[in-house]
Amino acid sequence: MSNGTRILLNSDGIITDWSKQHFEPVASPLSAISNPKVAYDLLTPLDNSRHGFSVQQGVQKLKPYGLQFQGTAGSQTDFTEAGLAGLSFLTAFRFSAIDTFQYVLDCRDLTVGSGHGFAITYNPTGQRLELRVAWPDGSMGIYYATGQTIVADKWYVACGVISPNRNHKLTLSDGTAIAASPTGYLANVAGSPLMLGASAAGSSMLKGDIGFFGAWGNEFSAGDITNAIALGTSIMTGRGETV
């Protein structure tokens, strides 16, 4: 064809390159929780909340469950929104290797005097998942649950709450609960573009997979977190994966 959309499929009939396709927003299962700020289903590059954000495929492989990361680069998004009075998010991920330090996602800025944002990391020391929060003075808090370890090739659904008023939470589908109530006020919780599968600077890349990412401009309650994890588990089960 000399004109029109070029469709690249692999032998299983799966699209291999987002840049060669034309996509339109579709109803996102993440919208079962009303009013998402962003809904990256990661089956297309679009934000299916219809707020106009997008995500780059980069070198990631497209899979029926989302994006597969090879540990060589992240996928940059343009999701950012300054001035939120709190943020809750839902994602699903798994690690294919657990011998190196890796980022699941990151939107931190550690500039002295204007630091902000958060990250999820895996630390091979203790095989632990960490919630990292940037503070206005450019420092960073690192929070994790003792006695809880991450295993390879297992899907985790994670619901996080980032609060300007300190009460940060990260809850996993395996029951892990990370909670932090540090002293201080966290400004601009989503003020920098979100990176998936690497640090904001593009280092410590993920070896594994990410199924989706959604975010909401409020702080989820305990009941909301339980419902969100059930939703995320249902999404991945519907894609043929076991959480």
- 143-190 pLDDT, tens digit per residue, is 999 988 999 999 999 999 998 776 899 999 999 999 887 766 777 889
User: Which tens digit of pLDDT belongs to each residue from 93-126?
Assistant: 999 999 999 999 999 999 999 888 999 999 999 9
Residue 21: is its pLDDT beyond 60? Answer: yes
Q: How confident is the model at residue 242 (pLDDT cuts 50, 70, 90)?
A: very high
Tell me, which fold does domain 38-238 have in CATH? Answer: Jelly Rolls (2.60.120)
Residue 194: is its pLDDT beyond 60? Answer: yes
In the chain, the N- to C-terminal Cα span, in Å, equals 42
Mean pLDDT of the chain: 91
State the residue for tokens 């401009």: 217
Q: How confident is the model at residue 7 (pLDDT cuts 50, 70, 90)?
A: very low
Tokens of 86: 């709190």
Stronger pLDDT, 224 or 168, i.e. the higher one = 224
Contacts of 89 (CB under 8 A, 6+ apart): 159, 160, 162, 213, 214, 215, 216
Domains of the chain, by residue range, sit at 38-238
Three-state DSSP state, 120: strand
71 neighbors 173 (Cβ within 8 angstroms): no
